[in-house]
Homo-oligomer: A and B are copies of this chain.
Amino acid sequence: MKPDRIPPEKNLPACPVDRLLRVISGQWTSYLLWVLAQNGPQRFGALQKLVPGISTKVLTERLRMLDAAGLVLREQAATIPPQVTYSLTPRGLELRGLMDDLSIVARRWDAEGWRPPPR
């Protein structure tokens, strides 16, 4: 009955790196940011075409989350039919350098034959 773990001080590491990774690492999320960074502002339907396989539900969730996080701007034109455009905010653009470096490492490892371990 000895405790299996050390009780956390509050409830999590509260590590800024962890917090940032938590935001950008949901499924499709990094890919979405990448697509917006590469192709500029896009409408909902265009994003769905640019990210094949994503469902409307998840695409909506991710975009709303990124909006709430201040990384993506959602602009809605109250026309008929409605027109909603998503773009990177200045803060979202700050991630580009990071993504580029990450991409360089990821692609090199890829070329070297590295593969993530299967679950």
Chain A residues engaging chain B, CB cutoff 8 angstroms: 4-9, 11-13, 15-25, 28, 30-31, 34, 48-49, 51-56, 65, 68-70, 91, 94-95, 97-99, 101-103, 105-107, 109-110, 114-117
Contacts and interface: CB of A to CB of B under 8 A. Distances in A.
Given A23-B116, A117-B65, A51 B106 contact: no
B97 A53 contact: no
A94 B98 contact: no
26 contacts: A4-B55, A4-B56, A5-B48, A6-B48, A6-B49, A6-B53, A7-B52, A7-B53, A8-B52, A8-B53, A11-B53, A12-B53, A13-B31, A17-B30, A18-B31, A19-B110, A19-B116, A20-B102, A20-B116, A21-B24, A23-B116, A25-B25, A69-B116, A70-B114, A98-B102, A101-B101
